[in-house]
Amino acid sequence: MSSVTNIFLTANKSVSQWQSDNLLQIIDDDIYIYLDDNDLFPLQSIQKAGRSIEKMGVKNAHLQGDSWKADSQWAFALGFTCVDKLTNIEFNGDEDVVSKLNDKLAVYAWSRDLTNQTPSQLTPLLLAEKAQKYITTQAPEYVKTHVISGEALSEQGWTGVYNVGKGSVNPPCIIEIDYNPTGDDQAAVTACLVGKGITFDSGGYSLKSNEGMFHMKCDMGGAAVVAGALALAIRQGLKSRVKLILCCAENMVSNNAYKLGDILTYKNGVTCEVANTDAEGRIVLADGLLMASENSPTLIIDAATLTGAAVAATGGDYTALFSLDQQAADQAKKAATSENEPLWQLPLAKWHQDKCPSAFANTANSRPIPGGGPGGASNAAGFLSRFVDGKGWLHFDLAAAYNGSANAQWGAGATGLSIATIANLLLSQ
């Protein structure tokens, strides 16, 4: 096929005989996606078509014809794009539609590529640096950053990030990126985004298996998603002040690594016994949530590839949503629906805080059984809820953030799912 292939979307059968009922129909060098009027999930079918077309060896897709709408073009883009082809699409429509789709594609490509990088390419401080550079590029005059790394984390009381990352030769860090387009240094912070940035997760002394560790370069996917969400919101005209907080560390085994039975004391006085060093995401996010809460924003969103339990509950097809504020959760679900991103709310109540008990501290970070036991995703969210007021707080457990291998809808690697949903929430504040 040529280097650029024209892709048409149609409800009319363009061919006969053996191709007549196929989702994909080929005429000369053009490809037609045939959608039956009775298709109950047309966007999903278009995404699957995009995946199939990429596997044919198409290098660049040019969407042609009048049938393409913004949502159908984006569905195609999600299926077609993959490693080394993250931006290889020419969109269709008026200038405004094409511009918005190109902005969205560029941000998702950056976030997905960041998540796909190897642990040697992306150490904690490099993750912070790349996020800072990308956000600053969006609006250089409105961005300020502050980084706390290494021993300074311990000295300033950021015990979670410090302890999870102290076993690595690559020092941990927290970066705070302040986007303030108001021109007023005293302006209220309307929202804070907190991202889990574990650039590699060995599991620590609760060591993962080879299979479980193989894809753990993706464990900073939460940081990539919230950074991408802020970048997209800025491109879409964000006018309010937002802070992005990334909690970055490598969870490694060494003579200096944190250990089972250690007790951590957080800035708010909560003590935590380490029952599982592989439940490190919630340990670092606690610091990020405390830092976010210091700003008294109306909205706090954290995002993390946090629990296998969320993947088991959703099949890896949805982002799992948790909140103690049902109004905020309903807003998130509405935003996800408008962006055509799968989001599913799972149970969370105040009493989930007590689901990881400790005889020696206020709480443990997990339960010392595989997967944290029943309700593991809710229990993790319950742990996090100790570090926020609860009102206006949303926890995104990114169960659909990464695929170890390609499937019918996605290429292998990061998906970027929930970037648009979170950006939508920022713009609605």
Q: Which residues are tagged catalytic?
A: 208, 282
Residue 207 per-residue DSSP state: P
CB 151 within 8 A of CB 254: no
CA dist., res. 176 & res. 162, Å (int): 16
Report the distance separating Cα 348 and Cα 351, nearest Å: 8
- Cα–Cα distance, 148 to 173 (Å, whole number): 5
β-pair type (393-397, 242-251):
unpaired
Distance (Å) of CA 23 to CA 11, 99, 161: 10, 28, 49
CB half-sphere exposure, 360, CA atoms < 13 A: 12
- Find, among 252, 308, 281, 303, the residue nearest to 161 by Cα: 281
The Cα–Cα gap between 200 and 252 comes to 8
The secondary structure element, H or E, covering residue 33 is: strand 30-34
42-55 and 70-80 helices cross at what angle (nearest 10)?
40
Contact 317, 342 (CB under 8 A): yes
Asked if 219 and 414 touch (Cβ cutoff 8 Å), the reply is: no
Cα(352)–Cα(369) distance, integer angstroms: 17
Q: Residue for token digits 């309010």? A: 240
Residue 306, C-beta contacts closer than 8 angstroms, at least 6 positions apart: 196, 222, 281, 282, 285, 377, 380, 397, 398
249, 159 Cβ separation under 8 angstroms: no
For the chain, state the CA radius of gyration. 22
- Which tokens sit at 318? 């949805």
Asked if 33 and 89 count as a contact pair (C-beta separation under 8 A), the reply is: no
